[in-house]
């Protein structure tokens, strides 16, 4: 099933209540197949996801972390997704500056009617992480 | 999916006292039996591993404990249906998701709803037709309305409109409306007044306004050495639950085509007045130019009503003197909806429509007091010359200066200076800020009937808000750990709803729970961890993250 010695990644997703979580619902009820590796956590808005949560997940051994919010201009809370985007840009830059893998952290916009995009994104991300192999932080660090 | 395995795993999870497979959770019997089980086991939380969230939200409310202590998640969609060929993986994912939900509910605190009083009265700013219609529709539902108009009489722009293109009598409509407004005991009209301060939030606004002439009179009296009674100079204060902004707009003043230099160059509005009060005299030839100061770089929007206004006046000229020559220079004639019939009618009656391009505008010259217009006629591909008695310009509609209201109310405007609604399709007359609504020309250029419809909508939205005796907060709202708050106000900056404010005396920030929509932006912005979102606290999310891994 995998190229990387049967490695099954663990992926933590933070999904906004109004768009992406509903999109995940739709993906499931449309019987779209996406990897079981993704564990979604429902949050009210992508802007309520503290970068610390994402870091904790990475340092705690998650192989990939994905934050999803509403499409630009469609945020239920007007501008929450933009706030989240800024934080993510900073966080990724910080990670890369420290020599850590910024691409284990994704941010994507997935709207409530976008079940197919949800499934596609989750497949792509899982595939990427599967190729990359286990997150070294998970074993080297234990925060 | 192996439900037995899931149940077994769930039993072993921290804090779980009872696990049960319920075949039809959606039935009333099932819901009440869950309630009974919870009481029997003295549980203080429940996890429903079910289907799509929207379908199960209501179930939680029926169980009989605080609904925020019940967690539902979409086991069916996320685990079962998305992993059809792989039951083992589906079961593994189901166990992980259940463990996460158990963590969330284990760390959940009860979140009671807070209620706030509702001031059951409304303020309407602007006594034009839109403002009056909004006020009337609110008063008709039995609420007190305070109508503040900056001019000395009601009516706004409608006072200068005599008829619509369909032929209805605007002045009669205006008279009826004003009469009803002034005789309605529920509507309190303040003319010659301007709002100076607004504070508060939905359900609880305090409004101060100054009556210009009153104030001037008091000053004059004081100067004359008379003693003014103390309350005369003070600003009246109103307490209202909702505000409608109907501040209106006006016809812009053209700067082109010799307007203001030749007295025979007038705007459509001025021309209409002459048509109706009989001061026009005998007309032989009229020219009109459309989109004057509209749809250019400075003002990119279409003013929407000028084309039908031009059709109306052109038809009126033709009616008064059928032999008169009427030429309309236009870019696109926007006779939208059923107005097309008046365009057809005008052409039937011999009105000429000549199209011009933005880079080849008609040229207007004053030759010894006589007007001369030269323009390219695209069909003839040559120049045409018209020497009209009157040149009528279609001026744009510009919003009244709203900068002061924008500043004191924190509402938004578009690039063009019009008020901006929260969402064009779903909340077309609401502002993002709760409890404030919009209608009339202050929002966008629109015809009388369109203004009335919008004003009624704004009135109804206001009534929907006011008819709640109390304003209750959502269950997911943010809160402040007061001892941790340093009063840095970062959360106030990020809050899109104005739901946080500084208590200057105590130096900390507090939450207006009725305004909080629960986005949690403040939680992340807070550098000291004092801001929390109920039901989505740090400890919950982190512990869910932990068990997810």
Distance (Å, whole) CA B320 – CA A140: 92
The alpha-carbon gap from B412 to the nearest alpha carbon of chain A, in Å, equals 12
The pLDDT score that the predictor gives to residue B504 is 92
My answer on whether B174 and B98 are in the same domain is: no
Q: Does A100 touch chain B (CB under 8 A)?
A: no
* Domain membership flag for residue B114: no
Report strand pairing: B193-201 vs B187-190: unpaired
CATH number for B184: 3.50.50.60
Of the residues B343, B362, B395, the one at which a domain ends: B395
Of the residues B372, B395, B418, the one at which a domain ends: B395
Domains in chain B, number: 4
Q: B82–A41: do the CB atoms touch at under 8 Å?
A: no
Distance (Å, whole) CA A13 – CA A106: 9
Which chain A residues are within 8 Å of B542, Cβ to Cβ? 53, 56
Confidence of residue B468 (pLDDT cuts 50, 70, 90): confident
Q: What phi-psi label fits residue B498: left (phi over 0), alpha (psi between -120 and 50 degrees) or beta? A: left
- Which among B496, B519, B544 has CB closest to A41? B544
Phi, psi dihedral angles at B543 (to 5 degrees)? -70, -30
My answer on whether B219 and B164 are in the same domain is: yes
My answer on whether B27 and B68 are in the same domain is: yes
In contact, B281 and B161? CB cutoff 8 Å = no
My answer on whether B76 and B23 are in the same domain is: yes
CATH number for B525: 3.30.70.20
Tokens of B239: 């307490």
My answer on whether B359 and B384 are in the same domain is: yes
pLDDT in tens, B145-194: 999 999 999 999 999 999 999 989 999 999 999 999 999 999 999 999 98
The alpha-carbon gap from A100 to the nearest alpha carbon of chain B, in Å, equals 19
In contact, B508 and B480? CB cutoff 8 Å = yes
Residue span of the structural domain in which B57 resides: 3-106
pLDDT in tens, B52-68: 766 666 677 777 777 77
Q: A12–B523: do the CB atoms touch at under 8 Å?
A: no
How far is residue B290 from each of residues B265, B299, B313, B331, measured CA to CA in Å? Answer: 13, 14, 13, 7
Q: A77–B521: do the CB atoms touch at under 8 Å?
A: yes
The pLDDT score that the predictor gives to residue B488 is 93
Specify the DSSP class assigned to residue B341.
H
My answer on whether B492 and B387 are in the same domain is: no
* Domain membership flag for residue B546: no
Specify the DSSP class assigned to residue A71.
P
Q: What phi-psi label fits residue B244: left (phi over 0), alpha (psi between -120 and 50 degrees) or beta? A: beta
For domain A11-135, the question of CATH label 3.10.450 is answered with no
ipTM attached to this prediction: 0.88
CA triplet A92, A97, A98: central angle to 5 degrees? Answer: 100
The alpha-carbon gap from B83 to the nearest alpha carbon of chain A, in Å, equals 6
My answer on whether B146 and B73 are in the same domain is: no
CB atoms within 10 A of CB B336: 11
My answer on whether B349 and B266 are in the same domain is: yes
Torsion of CA B232, B233, B234, B237, to 10 degrees: 60
pLDDT in tens, A85-98: 999 999 999 999 98
- Which among A33, A51, A83 has CB closest to B521? A83
My answer on whether B385 and B449 are in the same domain is: no
My answer on whether B291 and B369 are in the same domain is: yes
Q: B541–A47: do the CB atoms touch at under 8 Å?
A: no
Which residues 6+ apart lie within 8 Å of B178 measured at CB? Answer: B132, B154, B155
* Domain membership flag for residue B547: no
Residue B310's SS3 state is: helix
Element containing residue A13 per DSSP (H, E): strand A11-16
My answer on whether B372 and B405 are in the same domain is: no
The pLDDT score that the predictor gives to residue B42 is 87
* Domain membership flag for residue B500: yes
Sequence ranges of the domains in chain A: 11-135
Tokens of A139: 């074993």
My answer on whether B266 and B382 are in the same domain is: yes
């Amino acid at each position: 099933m995998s190229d990387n010695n049967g490695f099954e990644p663990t992926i933590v997703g933070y999904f906004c209540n109004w768009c992406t979580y509903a999109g995940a619902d739709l993906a499931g009820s449309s019987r779209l197949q996406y990897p079981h590796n993704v564990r979604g956590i429902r949050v009210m808005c992508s802007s309520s996801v503290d970068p610390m949560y994402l870091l904790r997940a990475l340092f705690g051994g998650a192989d990939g972390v994905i934050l999803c919010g509403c499409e630009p201009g469609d945020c239920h809370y007007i501008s929450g997704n933009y706030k989240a985007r800024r934080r993510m840009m900073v966080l990724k830059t910080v990670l890369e500056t420290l020599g850590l893998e910024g691409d284990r952290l994704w941010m994507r916009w997935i709207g409530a009617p976008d079940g197919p995009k949800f499934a596609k994104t989750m497949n792509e991300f899982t595939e990427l992480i599967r190729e990359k192999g286990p997150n070294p932080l998970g074993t080297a660090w234990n925060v | 999916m192996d439900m037995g395995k899931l149940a077994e795993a769930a039993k072993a999870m921290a804090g779980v006292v009872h696990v049960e497979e319920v075949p039809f959770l959606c039935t009333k019997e099932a819901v009440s039996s869950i309630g009974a089980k919870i009481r029997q086991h003295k549980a203080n939380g429940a996890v429903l591993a079910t289907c799509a969230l929207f379908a199960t939200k209501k179930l939680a409310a029926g169980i009989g404990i605080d609904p925020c202590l019940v967690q539902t998640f979409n086991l069916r969609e996320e685990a079962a249906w998305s992993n059809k060929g792989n039951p083992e993986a589906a079961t593994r994912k189901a166990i992980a998701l259940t463990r996460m939900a158990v963590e969330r509910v284990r760390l959940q605190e009860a979140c009671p709803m807070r209620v706030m009083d509702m001031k059951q009265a409304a303020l309407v700013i602007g006594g034009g037709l839109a403002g009056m219609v909004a006020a009337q529709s609110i008063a008709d539902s039995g609420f007190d309305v305070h109508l503040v108009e900056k001019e000395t009489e009601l009516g706004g722009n409608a006072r200068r409109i005599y008829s619509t293109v369909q032929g209805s009598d605007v002045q009669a409509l205006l008279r009826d409306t004003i009469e009803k407004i002034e005789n309605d005991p529920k509507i309190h009209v303040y003319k010659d007044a301007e709002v100076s301060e607004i504070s508060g939030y939905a359900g609880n606004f305090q409004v101060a306004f100054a009556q210009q002439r009153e104030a001037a009179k008091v000053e004059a009296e004081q100067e004359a050495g008379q003693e003014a009674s103390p309350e005369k100079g003070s600003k009246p204060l109103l307490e209202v639950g909702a505000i409608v902004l109907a501040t209106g707009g006006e016809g812009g003043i053209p700067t082109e085509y010799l307007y203001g230099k030749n007295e025979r160059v007038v705007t459509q509005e001025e021309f209409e007045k002459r048509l109706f009060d009989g001061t026009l005299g005998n007309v032989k030839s009229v020219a009109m130019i459309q989109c004057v100061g509209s749809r250019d770089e400075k003002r990119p929007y279409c003013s929407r009503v000028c084309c039908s206004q031009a059709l109306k006046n052109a038809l009126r000229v033709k009616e008064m003197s059928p032999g008169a020559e009427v030429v309309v220079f236009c870019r696109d004639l926007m006779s939208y909806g059923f107005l097309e019939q008046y365009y057809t009618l005008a052409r039937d009656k011999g009105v000429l429509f000549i199209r011009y391009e933005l880079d080849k505008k008609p040229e207007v010259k004053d030759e010894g007091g006589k007007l001369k217009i030269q323009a390219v006629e695209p069909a003839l591909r040559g120049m045409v010359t018209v020497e009209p008695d009157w040149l009528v310009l279609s001026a744009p509609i510009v919003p009244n200066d709203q900068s002061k209201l924008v500043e004191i109310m924190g509402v938004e405007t578009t690039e063009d200076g019009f008020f901006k609604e929260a969402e064009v399709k779903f909340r077309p007359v609401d502002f993002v800020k709760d409890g404030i609504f919009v209608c009339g020309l202050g929002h966008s250029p629109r015809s009388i009937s369109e203004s009335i419809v919008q004003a009624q909508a704004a009135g109804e939205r206001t009534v929907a808000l006011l008819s709640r005796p109390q304003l209750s907060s959502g269950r997911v709202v943010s809160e402040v750990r007061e001892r941790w708050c340093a009063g840095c106000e970062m959360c106030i900056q990020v809050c899109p709803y104005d739901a946080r404010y500084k208590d200057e005396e105590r130096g900390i920030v507090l939450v207006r729970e009725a305004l909080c929509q629960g986005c949690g932006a403040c939680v992340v912005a807070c550098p000291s961890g004092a801001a929390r979102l109920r039901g989505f606290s740090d400890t919950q999310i982190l512990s869910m993250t932990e068990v997810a891994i």
